[in-house]
Amino acid sequence: MENMTCTQCDTPGLEPGFVEDTGQNTRGYARWIAGHLERGIFGGAKRMGRQSRQIEAYRCPKCGHLELFATHES
């Protein structure tokens, strides 16, 4: 994903990064989960049997816009 251009202001050279999840019992990074959000009996998101992918984030150095991509399976 090199040489990406911002979809908002057309600035080239987006900076790679990641979206951190610091909630209770987290792994430290956010994930994309397939399907609509469904909550279990204790209020947490149901994830069993669903595809999940790591989220890669890129930031525009000019306008700060974030581009997120769900890439590798997690």
Its domain, for residue 26, covers 8-33+49-73
pTM (predicted TM-score): 0.72
Domain count within the chain: 1
5-40 pLDDT, tens digit each: 999 999 999 999 988 887 777 777 788 888 888 888
Share of the chain above pLDDT 90, in %: 35
Residue 17 lies in a domain: yes
Q: Is the distance from CB of 1 to CB of 58 less than 8 angstroms? A: yes
1, part of any domain: no
- The answer to whether residue 3 sits within a structural domain is no
Q: Is residue 44 part of a domain?
A: no
Half-sphere exposure of 60 (CA within 13 A, CB side): 14
Selected residue with higher pLDDT from 58 and 30: 58
